Structures are given as structure tokens and as C-alpha cells.
């Protein structure tokens, strides 16, 4: 990992919905320099599972490799799970 990409993580996110539907997988990149909501999505969903309260519904996942931005609008009561596969860098 170069200093240019310090803190870079590559995610592949899949959202499972009630009834068996699946959204994704969505590739997303996160770093201190790249604005992406991939980490916030998982933190907010975890908080929802603990409290039953949701304050945010729209998330932008940025795929820097393909230069794409995915926008997810989710009501967590319809989500049964979120799978986040994170590509780890070499130590």
C-alpha cells in the first residue's frame, strides 16, 4: 500500500432483503481521502439492530476502480442482513 492510498480498504457489499431478494454485490472503496458511505452503512445498520431506530436512509458507495457511484436508499426494517467482504492489504 502506497502512502497515496494510506488507509484504503476495498469492500464488496451485498444487502439481503425480506422475502429473499438481494441487492449487489456493490464494490466500494473507503479511505480518509475517498468519500464513501460504506463504513457508515454498516455502523448504522448495526446501531439499528441494537436500538430499532434509523436516522439515515441514503448511502453512496463509490467504486474508484470503475469510477462508479452506487446510491442505496434503504429502510432497515426491510433488510435481513448486510454482507461486507473487505480486501485486506498485505501486512
Q: pLDDT: is 91 or 53 the higher one?
A: 53
* pLDDT for position 1: 38
Q: What is the pLDDT of residues 45-81, one digit of tens each?
A: 999 999 999 999 999 998 888 888 999 999 999 999 9
Backbone angles phi, psi at 88, to 5 degrees: -90, 140
Cβ atoms within 10 Å of 34's Cβ, excluding its own:
15
String of b and e for 53-69 (b: at least 16 CB within 10 Å)? eeeeeebebbbbeeeee
Q: What is the pLDDT of residues 2-40, one digit of tens each?
A: 445 556 788 999 999 999 999 999 999 888 777 789 999
Nine cell digits for residue 37: 458511505
Cβ atoms within 10 Å of 10's Cβ, excluding its own:
19
Amino acid at each position: 500500500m502506497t502512502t497515496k492510498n494510506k488507509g484504503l480498504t476495498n469492500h464488496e457489499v451485498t444487502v439481503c432483503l425480506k422475502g429473499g431478494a438481494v441487492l449487489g454485490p456493490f464494490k466500494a472503496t473507503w479511505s480518509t481521502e475517498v468519500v464513501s458511505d460504506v463504513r457508515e452503512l454498516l455502523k448504522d445498520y448495526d446501531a439499528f439492530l441494537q436500538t430499532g431506530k434509523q436516522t439515515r436512509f441514503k448511502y453512496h458507495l463509490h467504486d474508484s476502480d470503475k469510477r462508479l457511484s452506487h446510491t442505496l436508499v434503504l429502510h432497515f426494517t426491510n433488510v435481513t442482513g448486510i454482507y461486507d467482504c473487505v480486501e485486506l492489504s498485505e501486512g
